[in-house]
A and B are shown apart, each in its own frame.
Chain A
Amino acid sequence: MTIDVVVNSTARRLTLDCAVTLLDALREHLGLVGTKKGCDQGACGACTVLLDGKRVLSCLTLAAQCDGRTVTTIEGLATDGELHPVQAAFLRHDGFQCGYCTAGQIMSAVALLEEGRTGSDAEIREFMSGNLCRCGAYPNIVAAIREVAAARRA
């Protein structure tokens, strides 16, 4: 089947089998390998992307369901070579170790800020709980998000 989808502000037409997930469409069909395949079963959050601005799991979304919709991946966050503030904060705070979960963490954090769920560390932790980090970089991830949230409020 053929679908039209806007990925990171670029209109794309894809011809793929209807069983292809959004995650595989991004990685295998569009070469956007920033989005990571962790559990591939909705348990880890590594594949988090924004669909029409909302964070979702691309491993449990069919590409077919995204026809006519807008997808943002980690590759779409930086503008004109400038890192997104959340990306920069993750670097400053060392919000990762192996880096495998990082794209998902950052996409989730970008959505979290839009949702306004950064009122406290406890709130950040609760609403980031869908993104697992097996290296245990959580304290630094929380610190990065806290900093961006504070800068936005200032």
Chain B
Amino acid sequence: MAPFEYVRTEDVAGAVAMVSADPGASFLAGGTTHLDLLLKDAVIASNRLVDITRLPLRGIARVDDTLRIGALTTMEELAADPLVTERLPLVREALLASASTQIRNMATIGGNLLQRTRCRYFRDRNVAACNKRAPGSGCAAVAHVARMHAILGASEHCIALHASDLCVPLVALDAVVHVQGAARLRTVPLTELYVLPGARPDVENVLEHGELITQVEVPLLPPGARSGYLKVRDRASYEFALTSAAAALVLDRGTIASARLALGGVGTIPWRAHEAEAVLTGAPATVTTFRAAAEAAIHDPFIVPGTAFKVELAKRTMVRILETVSGVKP
């Protein structure tokens, strides 16, 4: 690890200016990914950490039918919010299925959105081939042991998974991210924040260096909507997803009036299942409909031997969460 400087600032504009002006600087929030990669794995470098944890970007407020979440709100704080429990159960369930309480007390919502992949090859500096770490060097995961990897939005260039649980319901809900840069404020729909890896897996999102997520805006589900999150993993708790799904349905006498569905554990980015939503909307809430939606969601997967099981597992995960949310029994 190369030496770095630590600075703390208490105003947002100052923090943004500091990082924007210095290509080697980076923001430090909860640190659960950043310090791991910087201090322990030594696969990223930063000559200056700008600690933003004391910026006034913490807290949750309701504005009309939207929840406005300060980017430095912790995962535990968001999970404990009464309105999240009441109107966004899929968000609460995804949060509580994430990491451990210790990590959820540290990790922030903004940081969760920008967490880096858990791909073991990315995190091992002794592995030469990683297009995400060293563009053009290849992808060790494609040719070697892979399991916790992506099958959607993936290619021979990169199969690194976006491992966030929280982002799965947030893309399903059309969350919007507020971003502050040195020169401008802007909003970005979460579904447009991430960039598919293509031939440049090192480019993960549309943010410019120095831009800071200040707030996440989440539309509340309509009263009467039913929602939930299902996470399938190798052990019962404290583990990343093999597959997961977030679903929200509005039912009208056995018909699906509206549907929101997104997938985790399978995408190089949090995966909104628009094709599945199209199958669900207007259809009868039956297991046959759910299976048809699941089939539509997984098309053209890029699989390697270690990830082939995810195709069927992801479909069954979708069917199961749709059964649970709708109350329709197989």
Interface residues of A (CB under 8 A from B): 1, 17-19, 21, 40-42, 45, 48, 51, 54-57, 60-62, 64-65, 67, 108, 111-112, 115, 125-127, 129-131
Contact = CB atoms under 8 A, between A and B. Distances in A.
B103 A130 contact: yes
A48 B35 contact: no
B5 A62 contact: no
Contacts of B102: 45, 48, 55-57, 108, 130
Interface in B19-69: 28, 31-32, 35-36, 39-41, 49, 51, 53
Contact of A130 (B35, B51, B53, B99): B99
Interface of B: 1, 3-6, 8, 28, 31-32, 35-36, 39-41, 49, 51, 53, 76, 99-103, 105-106, 236-238
A152 B36 CA distance: 37
Contacts of A17: 3
A129 B31 CA distance: 20
Contact of A54 (B4, B105, B236): B105
Nearest to A55: B102
B74 to A, nearest CB: 9
Contact of B4 (A19, A40, A51, A126): A19
Contacts of B8: 64, 67
- The B interface is mostly helix, strand or loop, or mixed, namely mixed
Contacts of B49: 18, 62
Nearest to A41: B40
Contacts of B28: 62, 65
Contacts of A65: 28, 31, 51, 53
A60 B51 contact: no
A42 B1 contact: no
- The A interface is mostly helix, strand or loop, or mixed, namely mixed
A112 B104 CA distance: 13
Contacts, number: 79
B39 A19 contact: yes
Nearest to A104: B102
25 contacts: A1-B6, A17-B3, A18-B4, A19-B3, A21-B35, A41-B36, A45-B102, A48-B102, A54-B105, A55-B105, A56-B102, A56-B105, A56-B106, A60-B103, A61-B31, A62-B6, A64-B6, A65-B51, A65-B53, A111-B101, A112-B101, A126-B236, A129-B237, A129-B238, A130-B103
Contacts of A61: 31, 35, 106
A60 B100 contact: no
A36 B254 CA distance: 55
Given A17-B3, A65-B51, 10 more contacts: A54-B76, A56-B106, A57-B102, A60-B32, A61-B35, A61-B106, A126-B236, A127-B101, A129-B237, A130-B102
A61 B1 CA distance: 16
A36 B303 CA distance: 41
Given A42-B32, A60-B35, A18 B103 contact: no
A106 B51 CA distance: 30
A21 B32 CA distance: 12
Nearest to B40: A41
Given A18-B6, A19-B1, A19-B4, A55 B101 contact: yes
B31 A62 contact: yes
A73 to B, nearest CB: 14
A70 B40 CA distance: 25
A55 B102 CA distance: 5
Given A1-B6, A64-B6, A65-B53, A21 B39 contact: yes
A103 to B, nearest CB: 13
B130 to A, nearest CB: 19
B106 A60 contact: yes
A119 to B, nearest CB: 14
Contact of A57 (B5, B103, B236, B237): B103
Nearest to A43: B238
A42 B103 CA distance: 8
A130 to B, nearest CB: 2
Contacts of B106: 56-57, 60-61
A127 B95 CA distance: 13
